[in-house]
Amino acid sequence: MSHPTTTPPPPTPTFLKLSFPAPRVLLIRMDRPASLNAMSTVGQWEMHSVWEWLDSEPNLSVAIITGTGRAFSAGADLKEWNSSMASDADPSKRMGNSPAFKPLSRRLGKKPVVAAVNGLAMGGGCEFVVNCDLVVASEDAVFGLPEVKRGVAPIGGCLPRLIRTVGLQRACEFALMGEPISAQKAFEWGLVNKVVEKERVVEEAVRYAAAIAENSPDAIVCTRAGIRQGWESAAVERAVEVTLETQWAELQKGENIKEGLRAFAEKRRPVWKGSRL
């Protein structure tokens, strides 16, 4: 499905394929199956550009991320990482230190992202999942943070967020042992919203995303911001105040709040404009 975006999407020749499966919904497919959709440095920059574009594009409200083949993503390309460690390259430019090394796992962003986990989600791929807003997993999906077994650490942003989602003891079991868990266990721990048959994982993610995208684009951004403020900080009242002072203040200046209230009074479906937030 094509989509009338106001600006063309960034080029994604190396790692990503973009499509629009429903109105206001962007589907991002990691497409490097021979490497289990592991990210090279180039791929990380590519993904960084796509998230920047998503948040600035007023005619998109939600994104879905999935993988091609048997993996969602194996995370960082460890072969490239190994080569960079053996070279004389500037350490600040090595994988793991690049500014692009936060394409999703450290992305705060404005708009929600649904993970459609079609298979292996390991290392940085699992970190992606921890930071997504909703997660649909196939029955055979596997999640793991095996970094400790490779001499590195999952420093992409998932560790403090993992604690907030599953608790200290489960986070320690998961990250310090480096052992994988099943989709069912991830569901029981609260990392996954729904487990479905493999052939339905993207379809179900689209269902979630399309249901979100039917709502006010401004209200989606504001509501997610309030949730994220509460997740990222411990002070509940301060989280509320920040959202009131920023996204809520902007929401009230736009046309969508007027349209939503007017449509309710007139007993009709609202016709939303692009997000101003």
Is-contact 217 275, C-beta < 8 A? yes
Give the list of residues 6+ apart from residue 168 with CB closer than 8 angstroms, or none: none
- Annotation marks residue 179 as catalytic: no
Among residues 71, 74, 76, 219, the one annotated as catalytic is 76
- Annotation marks residue 76 as catalytic: yes
Residue (of 234, 229, 260) closest to 245 by Cα position: 229
Give the list of residues 6+ apart from residue 8 with CB closer than 8 angstroms, or none: none
- Residue 66 is encoded by which pair of tokens? 């999935």
- Annotation marks residue 178 as catalytic: no
Q: In the β-sheet with 142-144, what is the strand arrangement from edge to edge?
A: 71-73, 120-122, 142-144, 181-182
Is-contact 194 136, C-beta < 8 A? yes
Tell me how far apart the alpha carbons of residues 131 and 191 are, in angstroms, rounded to a whole number.
Answer: 10
- Annotation marks residue 266 as catalytic: no
Among residues 127, 141, 183, 226, the one annotated as catalytic is 127
Among residues 67, 109, 123, 124, the one annotated as catalytic is 124
Among residues 46, 57, 80, 147, the one annotated as catalytic is 147
Catalytic positions are 76, 124, 127, 147
